[in-house]
């Protein structure tokens, strides 16, 4: 799909279990997973899996489930 204009993006870190997320405002994911959640396994020592869902109406959230709380992240905007 083509995107015109800017998308409001927010991110943050959550613990127990360790994970970080990126929210894309004014978007809706095209999902066919259970309960509107798609899970993508990751074969990585740092990353367990990635989950995609519409966590609020009009907000698509990517969640990166981490294997360890010591894993850090940085976005390009930081």
Q: pTM of the full predicted structure?
A: 0.81
Evaluated on CA atoms 3, 33, 22, 24, the torsion sign reads positive
pLDDT score recorded for residue 7: 80
Place of tokens 């020592």: 45
Residue 59: which residues within 8 A CB-CB, separation 6 or more? 23, 24, 25, 26, 27
Task: Give mean pLDDT in consecutive 10-residue pieces for the chain, a chain of 78 residues.
Answer: 74 94 89 76 93 91 93 73
Task: Give the pLDDT confidence score for residue 34 in this predicted structure.
Answer: 58
């Amino acid at each position: 799909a083509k995107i015109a204009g800017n998308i409001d993006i927010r991110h943050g870190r959550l613990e127990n279990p360790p994970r970080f997320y990126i929210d894309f405002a004014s978007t809706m994911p095209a999902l066919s997973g259970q309960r509107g959640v798609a899970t993508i396994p990751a074969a990585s020592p740092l990353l367990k899996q990635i989950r995609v869902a519409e966590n609020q109406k009009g907000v698509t959230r990517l969640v990166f489930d981490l294997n360890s709380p010591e894993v850090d992240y940085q976005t390009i905007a930081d």
